[in-house]
Amino acid sequence: MALFDAYAGSYDAWFTTLRGQVVWEVERKLLCDFLRPRPGEEILDAGCGTGLLTKELAARGVNVTGIDISPAMLAVAREKTREFPNVVLARADITALPLPSCVFDGVVCFTALEFVSRPGEALREMWRVLKPGGRMVLGVLNALSPWAWARAGRGVFAHAHFYSYRGMRALIKETLGRVPLRWAGAVYFPPCCPEFCLRYAGLFELLGSAFARPFGAVLVFRIDKVR
């Protein structure tokens, strides 16, 4: 909590840069392609942070419950989503959700598991509150990406546990057993990419997903809860 409280005021600054905007556009598209949010659905944004994804989902007509352990992060999220009556924000730990079982059509957790000391407990809790027939989408920072090497030991990332595809797959299997799962990577252009090259981000994504799938900056997993 103290870690993210300290970064809350500056956390979104990177997303206002050209590089940050391009990265978020790639990540946002993949997350929403996997989650497939539909108007009127109940979606949990677990570890919502400053509400970047919360706002995106709310704008699509989804009823979003955003939870985070950091009061300062939630304060930013409240300001960002104040125009949306379909957003509820609350302080909670994703390893012990104060929510009933089987209430959400979808659960999304983006770049939060990296900072959780008991990720298995977090997965079990998110699975518990998901309805049968629902889907859970997990986005994690990839340990095998040049972005992880560039971020290692810096700022908030000094406290992160980066995941490889195999490591994340093993965590899911150990926690939830054999479940229907599909995955993809995103953000294949390198962190040192000159800004003029960012106009070709779509080409990087096309080539990366075809030939370097396990090495994107983020890995996104969709797990379906069979009825």
DSSP 163-175: B-HHHHHHHHHHH
Q: Are 174 and 120 in contact (CB under 8 A)?
A: yes
Average pLDDT over residues 95-102: 97
User: For a pLDDT cut of 90, what percent of the chain falls above it?
Assistant: 88
> Is the pLDDT at 227 greater than 90, yes or no?
no
Each residue's pLDDT tens digit, 45-56: 999 999 999 999
**Distance between CA atoms of 181 and 222, rounded to whole angstroms?**
6
- Closest C-alpha to 38, from 106, 99, 88: 106
Q: Are 26 and 203 in contact (CB under 8 A)?
A: no
**Distance between CA atoms of 51 and 47, rounded to whole angstroms?**
9
pTM higher than the cut 0.85 = yes
Each residue's pLDDT tens digit, 163-179: 999 999 999 999 999 99
DSSP 153-164: TSGGGGG---B-
Report the DSSP beta bridge partners of residue 165: none
Residue 177: CB partners within 8 Å, gap ≥ 6? none
